[in-house]
Chains A and B, each alone.
Chain A
Amino acid sequence: MNTLYFLAQQTMFFAIPLLIVALGGMYTERSGVINIALEGIMVMGAFVSIFFLNIFQGVLSGQVLLLLAVLVASLAGGLFSLLHAFASINLKADQTISGTALNMFAPAFAIFIARMVTGLQQIPFQDTFHIAKVPVLGSIPLIGPILFQNCYITTYLGIGIFIAAKIVINKTKFGLRLRACGEHPQAADTVGINVYKIRYAGVFISGVLAGIGGLVFVIPTSTNFNASVAGYGFLALAVLIFGQWRTGRIFVAAFFFGIMKTFASAYSGIPILKDMAIPNEVYKMIPYVATLIVLVFLSKNSQAPRAEGIPYDKGSR
């Protein structure tokens, strides 16, 4: 049973950042802008917020500091993503161009600045955010150990973001307009929706969430930041497509991938698997192979937003 709890807790560390970033990706793509810069934005969000942690950890500590860092990460990610919004909405450029540029810029910038300021490439921080057991809730049988022991506040943040994202895109006026701009911007424009504004909002939300996702990824897995989020931005893109651009399915996809990834990294803690002497690399491959196989069966009816990736030109209405 303890193994099971441990696996569940580990899954959260992998799945929650994927979930947050993929939801961000959903907002930009449902508004009609492809954002392959998620990776770069994650790096930027993580870099700025961990720099913030590094500076303020003497003054503050614990959850207050972490929540402030989340705020910083969201701002950094949001602002950084505006560069992508400008190039792909105003300049009507190919959306892979600025995406690639941002992906390249973020890690280089992070290393360059870190070296200039601290002399080292890595930025260390103290992990004062780990929660061994949430009072009261942690004592509930079954749910307690899975959700409320050995955890970070970011897990609940991620679930909160998921619920909010689901409501906003499906139940609000803004969500409806956003979806309209991704499916048929010309029609949206004729009924008086400002397509550019909505798309800006979509990209900005993706930046905010990707920035947060970067921080959320680094906090439980490491105590120093080395200008990398290990390809999680690209994986989030994959989760987004895997989840067919829908909130519920993205949730399932993120956790599917998270569980697979957990098995891959924690199999040696499971006695039966450890005895089978299968090479380490095979386990590491499992999440990716499994995703590919699932996709083969699920992709026939792709539900990608119709106008995704096409710059909106008022003149072509």
Chain B
Amino acid sequence: MKKQGLLNFSASALAVICGLVFGLVILLCTNPAQALPGLGIILKGGFADGMSGFGYMLYIATPIIMTGLSVGFAFRTGLFNIGASGQFTMGAFVAVYIGINWTWLPPQIHWIVALLGAAVGGAVWGLVPGILKAFRNVNEVISCIMMNYIGMYLVNHMIQSLIYDPLRSQTQPVSAGANIPKAGLDQLFSSNNLNIGILIAVVFVVLIYILIEKTTFGFELKACGMNRNASKYAGISVKKSLAMSMVIAGALAGIGGALMYLAGSGKYMQVLDVLSPEGFNGISVALLGLSNPIGILFAGIFIGYITVGGNNLQLLNFGPEIIDIIIAAIIYCGAFSLLFKHLIGKLIKRTKKEEESV
């Protein structure tokens, strides 16, 4: 089992290296003189600006760890949750709405209620495709795509009619108590954006890990993902499992939305006809993390890390899009993992044989 993990890790590491080499090639093609310093900046990533860069990295990583968990969890239960974007948006809206309007709550629990509200918002948005899949056999990919758009337009409408600040064309600011506590992390990392959001994300990573790997309920969900008919035969309620998987996935993405917009970082929800990219980035994070909660945590931090590097790259007049190109290349190289594992496995065997013969 441990060996399998090592194999997975080395395959992923190889994919990362391939992706970075590809990025270097692109840099070389566009501006040969600056290519190597450019790669240096990408590699330095979150460490370039000392603690504040590190804090910024964690800030970027937090929401995509949550959407990554959402997509990855659904993957493990045999569902493709392409609807994390809509769930994320719904969660964010509910959180911001509670943050603005429910000021009668004491500040110690205001943000917790907002987070819970976000979880419910996201869960409802996940529940619809889940129920449609379970009872009417509607393909979850298509219903999730539809729910993404419905959620986006609905939230746009609700923002405009309930919590809009027309002067700034964004939502009103949430009350101070609704912001996620900073607990000194902002001073530690001298970054205004950082709060215990990242710790909350880590808690969910652990919870989902325990749920998937250590509980009967999680085992049932996984079994349904692997073989629906066999699970039914074994007495598992497949319909309930499908619906529950999507509810949990939706709640995770919804909390991601809350963590992003309650961070007190000056980022507000706006009325745009664009699906929130965090949901789709979640797919990337889940794939990079091999749908394993711990892997997803590291994948999210990694993407945060090189995204900071990409922002710094503008100093050399490179577009920050190079980061998306590199991430895409890394994910693509993940497709080679079967091949990599095969090769690495062979290599290990050979060295062992040689050791034995010596």
Contact = CB atoms under 8 A, between A and B. Distances in A.
Interface of A: 36, 83, 87-88, 91-94, 96-98, 100-105, 107-109, 111-112, 115-116, 231, 234-235, 237-238, 241-242, 279-282, 284-285, 288-289, 291-292, 295-296, 299-300, 302, 304
Contacts of B337: 93
Interface in B289-314: none
A15 B282 CA distance: 30
B157 A105 contact: no
Contacts, number: 143
9 contacts: A91-B339, A97-B332, A100-B284, A231-B149, A242-B142, A279-B157, A288-B153, A289-B150, A292-B150
A93 B150 CA distance: 32
Given A93-B337, A105-B325, A116 B30 contact: yes
Interface string B331-358: 1101111110000000000000000000
A256 to B, nearest CB: 13
Nearest to B156: A281
B145 A98 contact: no
Nearest to A105: B328
A112 B22 CA distance: 14
Interface stretch (B133-141, B164-172, B235-243): B133-141
A101 B332 CA distance: 5
B80 interface: yes
Interface of B: 26, 30, 80, 82, 132, 136-139, 141-143, 145-147, 149-150, 153-154, 156-157, 160-161, 273, 275, 280, 283-284, 287, 319, 321-325, 327-329, 331-332, 334-339
Contact of B324 (A96, A104, A241): A104
Contacts of A302: 137, 139
A254 B208 CA distance: 39
A103 B280 contact: yes
A284 B146 CA distance: 12
Contacts of A288: 146-147, 149-150, 153
Contact of B334 (A88, A97, A285, A300): A97
A93 B325 contact: no
Contact of A100 (B145, B273, B331): B331
A304 B139 CA distance: 10
Given A105-B324, A112-B321, A288-B146, A98 B157 contact: no
A234 B145 contact: yes
Main secondary structure of the interface of B (DSSP, over half): helix
B296 to A, nearest CB: 14
Contact of B329 (A105, A115, A280): A105
A281 to B, nearest CB: 4
B138 A299 contact: yes
Contacts of B329: 101, 105
B335 A241 contact: no
B311 to A, nearest CB: 14
Given A105-B328, A108-B325, A281-B157, A241 B280 contact: no
A97 B331 contact: yes
Contact of B142 (A112, A237, A289): A237
Contacts of B275: 231
A107 B274 CA distance: 14
A116 B319 contact: yes
Contacts of B339: 91
A35 B67 CA distance: 22
Contacts of A109: 321, 325
Given A97-B287, A100-B283, A103-B280, A285 B153 contact: yes
Nearest to B138: A299
Contact of A112 (B145, B157, B325, B336): B325
A244 to B, nearest CB: 10
Contact of A98 (B143, B323, B335): B335
A98 B331 CA distance: 7
A176 B82 CA distance: 32
Nearest to A83: B332
Contacts of B146: 238, 288-289, 291-292, 295
Contacts of B136: 295-296, 299-300
Given A235-B145, A299-B138, 17 more contacts: A91-B335, A93-B337, A98-B335, A101-B331, A101-B332, A101-B335, A102-B332, A107-B324, A108-B321, A108-B323, A242-B142, A279-B160, A289-B146, A291-B142, A291-B146, A295-B142, A295-B143
Question: Top 4 closest A-B pairs, CB basis?
Answer: A108-B324, A93-B335, A105-B328, A281-B157
Contacts of B141: 36, 237-238, 241
A94 B325 CA distance: 20
Contacts of A289: 146, 150
B319 A104 contact: no
A98 B139 CA distance: 21
Given A295-B143, A299-B139, A285 B332 contact: no
B12 to A, nearest CB: 12
B122 to A, nearest CB: 18
Given A112-B321, A112-B325, A285-B149, A292 B143 contact: yes
Given A105-B325, A115-B319, A296 B138 contact: yes
A250 B190 CA distance: 55
B145 A87 contact: no
Contacts of A88: 335
Given A284-B153, A288-B150, A91 B322 contact: no
A101 B150 contact: no
Contacts of A92: 338
Contacts of A101: 328-329, 331-332, 334-335
Contacts of A280: 157
